Amino acid sequence: MLTKGAVEDLILEHLSRYGGKAASAAPAPKKVPELGKRVFLSDWEMRRLYRPGDRTVRVPANAIVSPLSLDWLDYNGIEVVREKA
């Protein structure tokens, strides 16, 4: 059975292999450039984008579509088309 000290030693040994410093980790990137500003589309907004008779709804490539909207669109057989960025 491993003791607390043995676990700490194993962790420090593993970390020292990948950064030279025992307690350091890789720095997190400041911003992901390809995402930009994300847009959340609620059910109300998706119903405004939908035109009666169409079988597709166009949304921005980086949009987050609400689960309720996806259910409504799927129920009515409407496909979500993401525009190219």
The per-residue pLDDT for range 2-36, each reduced to its tens digit, is: 788 888 888 777 777 766 554 455 555 555 445 45
Does residue 35 share a domain with residue 19? no
What gap in Å lies between CA 79 and CA 11, rounded to an integer? 48
Q: How much is the pTM?
A: 0.51
| Whether residues 17 and 36 fall in one domain | no
Rounded CA-CA distance 81/85 in Å is 12
Burial (CB count within 10 angstroms: exposed 0-12, middle 13-18, buried 19+), residue 15? middle
Residue 32, pLDDT score: 44
Range of the domain at 79: 31-85
- Taking only the tens place, the pLDDT of each residue in 31-79 is 544 545 678 988 888 888 888 889 999 988 888 999 999 999 999 999 9
In this structure, are 18 and 46 located in the same domain? no
Distance CA 38, CA 78 (A): 22
My answer on whether 10 and 23 are in the same domain is yes
